[in-house]
Amino acid sequence: MIDINILRTDPDKVRNNIKRKFQDKKLHLVDEILELDKKLREIKKEGDEKRSEKNKISSQIGKLIAQNKRDEAEQIKIKVGQLNKRILELESEESILADKVKKMMMVIPNFVADDVPLGENDSKNVQLQTFLEAKEKPFDVPYHTDILEKLDGLDLDSARRTSGQGFYYLTGDIARLHSAILTYARDFMINRGYTYVIPPFMIRSEVVSGVMSFDEMDNMMYKIEGEDLYLIGTSEHSMIGRFMNTILDEKTLPLKLTSYSPSFRKEKGAHGIEERGVYRVHQFEKQEMIVVCKPEDSEKFYNELWQNTVDFFVSMEIPVRTLACCTGDLADLKYKSLDVEAWSPRQKKYFEVGSCSNLTDAQARRLGIRYKTEKGNLFVHTLNNTVVAPPRMLIAFVENHLNEDGSVNIPKVLQSYMGGKTKINTKN
């Protein structure tokens, strides 16, 4: 959510930002918010005046009674009663209007960084850098489900019977590899100075609406029936919600955190053939990194966060590239975003395995997260990035480390987490 003072003083800046994000259907909101905000401030002003008048004349009642001027005192009591009635009416109107303004403000997208590429959708995202050489295999690489099944590591049929489409069983050495990668990711981030956290896996609606847009919420979140609780789609949600309505000590910033959680997503919509198997699923596990910092530090941490993911994948000998997300591909709360994509030898192209985002103060304004300074309380900036999210990452792993005989090599950094194994062999 942007600062409403910017909308009041420079509405064209807000309109231009909406256009940059190709969300022209929201342009009408600017004038509507300005009109409601003007009315809201008028109501607040009248309310303050009525309360001041009430306090002023109320103090006279005791004096008049003491002077035995009861008739005058009764007249003032009547006046106070009328003022109370009007004050209650104004407070009710103010509450309704404030709620309307807030809901409309939450639909206005966050300002986009100047260096974000202009584009309507992800086809306009721009490659920035590549890391490690993207090599093709000298043999045909099977689809990832075939690779995993030959390693006796994946059972989709049973999952469809127990849970439906979009679920899976990982078994044997592949299940162990999945856990090894997550454990390695945890240690990797701890060694880089991040505090490890396991957060709640369910959050209340006020947290959900604070960390994401309404469209994202509808497309992603699973609601717990009969309770004000949602299953998290990523640990970022509960990690940022942890600081809701708090004033942090400036000396504690930055907060550099890494968190583990299962994640649950509806994943609405139809997807292509490359998203069969375990590419796009309803349930997965994830290691995340989150930073809460002062505004002047957020750009520095943005670069640190995506570099962490690149270094993590490179350490497992998986080629990756970074991709700057264009304006039309940014979610409403994002100031800028960068995707990390891994090389697929089978598809001979890259695919997304992580996303790094700087949300500036958009989440902090929604959730009331500030820090105390000598100049007053200021809103923090929040950032997040994926360290790793199996099982999607397993696709890149098995394809890049696949041998012609169907076995999969285990890179050195993971061997100790796999009990010393250097290879996963196929099963008869």
DSSP annotation string for 75-134? HHHHHHHHHHHHHHHHHHHHHHHHHHHHHHHTTSPPPPPTTSPP-SSGGG-EEEEEES--
Can you state the angle between helices 28-66 and 70-105, rounded to 10 degrees? 160
What pLDDT does 275 receive? Answer: 62
pLDDT reading at 215 higher than 80? no
CA distance 393 to 144: 11
Q: Please confirm whether the linkage preceding 142 is cis (ω < 30° from 0).
A: no
Q: Is 387 helix (H, G, I), strand (E, B) or coil?
A: strand
What pLDDT does 91 receive? Answer: 93
Tell me which H or E stretch contains 357. strand 349-358
CA dihedral 80, 81, 84, 89 (to 10 degrees): -140
What pLDDT does 290 receive? Answer: 98
Tell me what the mean pLDDT of segment 360-365 comes to.
96
More confident position, 54 or 336: 336
pLDDT in tens, 76-127: 888 888 888 999 999 999 999 999 999 999 999 999 999 999 999 999 999 9
Residues of the chain with CATH 3.30.930.10: 122-424
Tell me what the mean pLDDT of segment 393-420 comes to.
97
pLDDT reading at 32 higher than 50? yes
- Find where tokens 């349930």 sit: 283
What pLDDT does 70 receive? Answer: 77
pLDDT reading at 204 higher than 80? yes
Rounded to the nearest integer, the mean pLDDT of the chain is: 93
Residues of the chain with CATH 1.10.287.40: 4-105
User: Domain 4-105: what homologous superfamily?
Assistant: Serine-tRNA synthetase, tRNA binding domain (1.10.287.40)
CA distance 122 to 116: 12
Q: Of 177-186, 207-216, 321-330, which gets the smallest average pLDDT?
A: 207-216
What pLDDT does 139 receive? Answer: 96
pLDDT in tens, 171-197: 999 999 999 999 999 999 999 999 999
305: tokens are 């966060």
Please provide the distance, in angstroms rounded to a whole number, between the alpha carbons at the two ends of the chain. Answer: 56
DSSP letter assigned to residue 377: E
CA distance 111 to 105: 13
More confident position, 22 or 68: 22
CA distances 68 to 60, 121, 240, 284, Å, are 12, 78, 61, 78
Q: Is 277 helix (H, G, I), strand (E, B) or coil?
A: coil
More confident position, 64 or 171: 171
CA 426 to chain centre: 39
What pLDDT does 138 receive? Answer: 95
What pLDDT does 270 receive? Answer: 45
Q: CATH for 122-424?
A: 3.30.930.10
pLDDT in tens, 264-321: 998 755 455 456 789 889 999 999 999 999 999 999 999 999 999 999 999 999 999 9
Confidence grade of residue 214 (pLDDT, cut at 50, 70, 90): confident
What pLDDT does 112 receive? Answer: 97
